[in-house]
Amino acid sequence: MAIHLGRANTVLRWLAPFGLSLAALGTLPAADADLIYVGRVITMTGTETDPRARAEAVAVAGDRIIAVGSRKEVLKHRGKGTRLIELGDKAVLPGFIDAHGHLTATSSTLSLADLSAPPVGEVRSIADLQNTLRRFIAERRLPAGALVIGFGYDDAQLKEKRHPNRDDLDAVSSAHPIMISHVSGHLAATNSAMLKLVGIEASTPDPAGGVIRRRAGSREPDGVLEETAFNAVREKVPPPNLEQSLANLAAAQRYYARMGVTTVQDGALVAPTKALLDEAARRGLLDLDVVTYQLWSPVALKLDKFTSARTYDRGLKHHGIKLILDGSPQGKTAFLSQAYRVPPAGQKKDYSGYPTLPAETVKRVIAEAAAFDIPVLAHANGDAAAEMLIDAVAAAKQKDASIKPDVVMIHAQTVRDDQLDRMASLGMTASFFVGHVFYWGDWHREETLGPVRADRISPTRSALDRKVAFTLHTDTPVVPPNMISTLWSATTRRSRSGDILGPAQRLGTWEALSAITLQAARQSGDESLKGSIEVGKQADLVVLSADPLSSDPENLRDLQVVETLARGRRVWPAP
């Protein structure tokens, strides 16, 4: 159907000088469609009450949407080879966009020991964790001295309510160096062999932006490493070979596609993972669109050498940079303005976490990025970290009122109303990890924040009321890229125990859908390409088992992804 794409591009070029778009026309010149869906079409255009918000049919030719509207009008594009699908009770929506996650990290976890707690995995206790690691060593036939790497343990869900320590992991094996990363990705537990391998001992000082946890009453490491303290361990983990890495990447894309996701993010890209994605794009192996943000460091990423891509090349767009200002609230390393309700073992009652970057560094990088027109994702979970970021954006604008920093506060778990007011005035975007409400809501209420602050995690309604642009994300591999679950969490705010955590912060279904479609497209500068079902836009579509706008929010998590199209090709179920 190349002729249809050619016609579309010709019309786009003709309309551009007049400030018009294909969406304004409602249909392209008559052409045979490859595919037509007839039934419930939720376009995510305008508002929920806008007549354009729903349509009876949508037609696709090649990788573009060529008609949206009434059944009669759209069926004019039906030809002999057109696949016609009657939706019945099902509904078609724009493909979901996960506004923050880690594609290559997700692909790398496929070769690690899975230590996830229910409902993702089966590890409920330290004994379960130990047995899982023993099976992993036996099944892989790992010889003495081989590294053993696990991912996803969650002290909040373990029966013991603590991190596994070096003694727990020594009981698994003293012959294998072992490192298991916390579900947040911000802490790790290691055994004695791993500590010896990387040279961490009693005399080793805590690095800037990290903590080596110690045995009670001594300087001896207990095996738990926070933030930058386990960088040395990470550096010891060898990547899979290229072909295995590409195979893992393909599997990770299928994982996302199964969830209805058509645009994924790699939100902390480093040199090896950039090379992997570049090679995948070169070979034509990116079935989904991938937008990346490269992890900033003063050595590895010089901003005057970075060029922000505004379009995709074979499915890949290196769009911006990533800053990490603090850690994890569930791991108790996020930087708060008030103390944690229950501090980590060995910390004083006034412990409130810590920043991973100095405030002056954040100010300098935000100002430089704005000057070079580089979009920034900034990880800030705690409200003290949020204050550092907001101050940095304000300082950049005060220095040069003509610049418009493109800054997204990632996670923003504990951002306050006064801070949201400032974010609105500065044009900042918030991206909320609203799945925290389910996965760690009870933990935040009882352990980390207490009832009052826990009610305000991921304050989506406060952001909406203040007209702060916001999106929703999964932070995969922290949790699965289940956008249906994200939708359910945003609209019900149910925790694991069934508690409604902060009912005043609940969103309506349309508002939550917008945050994983059109608003998410705007976050990465893609609103003219995707995020809504409009003529001329990329044919990124998801078919759901029922109409989410007609469903009770409590039942939204029962929705199933029936089919996913990315760039007009079916990517789920696998063709």
- Asked if residue 1 has pLDDT above 60, the reply is no
CA distance 116 to 123: 6
Q: Read off the pLDDT of each residue in 9-23 and give the average, rounded to a whole number.
A: 39
Report CA-CA distances (Å) from 67 to 10, 11, 48, 231.
16, 14, 20, 51
- Asked if residue 27 has pLDDT above 50, the reply is yes
Question: To 5 degrees, how large is the angle CA 310–CA 316–CA 319?
Answer: 40
Which residue matches tokens 């149910």? 494
Domains 112-234 and 245-530 share a fold: no
CA distance 153 to 356: 22
- Asked if residue 9 has pLDDT above 90, the reply is no
> Residue 224: what pLDDT?
96
CA distance 430 to 410: 6
Cα 81 → chain centroid: 38
Range of lowest pLDDT (109-113, 120-124, 462-466, 564-568): 109-113
CA distance 369 to 146: 42
The matching CATH number, chosen from 3.40.50.1400, 3.40.50.1970, 3.40.190.10, 3.20.20.140, for 245-530 is 3.20.20.140
Q: Is 541 helix (H, G, I), strand (E, B) or coil?
A: strand
- Asked if residue 545 has pLDDT above 80, the reply is yes
Which residue did the predictor score with more confidence, 485 or 237?
485
Query: How confident is residue 480, by pLDDT bands cut at 50, 70 and 90?
Result: very high
Cα 142 → chain centroid: 33
- Asked if residue 28 has pLDDT above 90, the reply is no
Q: What is the DSSP letter of 250?
A: H
Query: How confident is residue 239, by pLDDT bands cut at 50, 70 and 90?
Result: confident
Q: Specify whether the backbone of 309 is left (phi greater than 0), alpha (psi in -120 to 50) or beta.
A: beta
Q: Within 10 Å of residue 40's Cβ, how many Cβ atoms? A: 21
> Residue 247: what pLDDT?
96
- Asked if residue 225 has pLDDT above 60, the reply is yes
- Residues ≥6 apart with Cβ < 8 Å to 263: 95, 96, 97, 98, 288, 289, 290, 291, 520, 521, 524, 526, 530, 540
Burial label for 287, CB within 10 Å (0-12, 13-18, 19+), is: buried
Angle, helices 271-282/242-258, rounded to nearest 10 degrees: 80
- For the stretch 107-136, pLDDT in tens is 999 889 999 999 999 999 999 999 999 999
Which residue matches tokens 């009693």? 202
Report CA-CA distances (Å) from 299 to 226, 235, 271.
22, 16, 12
Domains in the chain: boundaries: 1-94+531-575, 112-234, 245-530
- For the stretch 159-193, pLDDT in tens is 999 999 999 999 999 999 999 999 999 999 999 99
Q: Please give the share of the chain, as a percent, with pLDDT higher than 70.
A: 95
- For the stretch 334-364, pLDDT in tens is 999 999 999 998 899 999 999 999 999 999 9
> Residue 299: what pLDDT?
73
The answer to whether 553 and 488 have CB atoms below 8 angstroms apart is yes
Q: Which tokens is 481 given? A: 């890229």
Which residue matches tokens 């930087």? 335
Cα 137 → chain centroid: 30
Tell me the β-bridge partners of 376: 321, 407
Query: How confident is residue 235, by pLDDT bands cut at 50, 70 and 90?
Result: confident
Query: Which is it for strands 54-61 and 316-324: parallel, antiparallel or unpaired?
Result: unpaired
> Residue 30: what pLDDT?
59
- For the stretch 359-394, pLDDT in tens is 999 999 999 999 999 999 999 999 999 999 999 999
> Residue 11: what pLDDT?
41
Secondary-structure class of domain 112-234 per CATH: alpha beta
Q: Is 260 helix (H, G, I), strand (E, B) or coil?
A: coil
CA distance 330 to 353: 11
> Residue 342: what pLDDT?
97
Q: Is 177 helix (H, G, I), strand (E, B) or coil?
A: coil
> Residue 232: what pLDDT?
84
The answer to whether 207 and 229 have CB atoms below 8 angstroms apart is yes
Range of lowest pLDDT (216-225, 234-243, 412-421): 234-243
The answer to whether 195 and 223 have CB atoms below 8 angstroms apart is yes
Q: What is the CATH number of domain 1-94+531-575?
A: 2.30.40.10
- For the stretch 257-308, pLDDT in tens is 999 999 999 999 999 999 999 999 999 999 999 999 999 987 778 898 899 9
Which residue matches tokens 């506004």? 99
Q: Read off the pLDDT of each residue in 506-520 and give the average, rounded to a whole number.
A: 98
The answer to whether 32 and 1 have CB atoms below 8 angstroms apart is yes
Which residue did the predictor score with more confidence, 528 or 6?
528
- Asked if residue 227 has pLDDT above 70, the reply is yes
Query: How confident is residue 29, by pLDDT bands cut at 50, 70 and 90?
Result: low
Report CA-CA distances (Å) from 182 to 190, 203, 327, 343.
11, 25, 12, 17
CA distance 181 to 226: 10
> Residue 304: what pLDDT?
84
Q: Residue 376 corresponds to which amino acid?
A: V
Q: Number of C-alpha atoms within 13 angstroms, CB side, residue 307?
A: 3
- Asked if residue 5 has pLDDT above 80, the reply is no
- Asked if residue 20 has pLDDT above 90, the reply is no
| Mean pLDDT of the residues in the chain | 93
Q: Read off the pLDDT of each residue in 480-493 and give the average, rounded to a whole number.
A: 98
Q: Read off the pLDDT of each residue in 520-531 and give the average, rounded to a whole number.
A: 98
Q: Please give the share of the chain, as a percent, with pLDDT higher than 90.
A: 89
Torsion sign, CA atoms 294, 296, 301, 302: positive
> Residue 6: what pLDDT?
38
Burial 464-475 (b: 16+ CB within 10 A, else e): bebebbbbbbbb
The answer to whether 484 and 259 have CB atoms below 8 angstroms apart is yes
Q: Is 479 helix (H, G, I), strand (E, B) or coil?
A: coil
- For the stretch 416-460, pLDDT in tens is 999 999 999 999 999 999 999 999 999 999 999 999 999 999 999
Tell me the H-state helices in 145-203: 166-170, 192-198
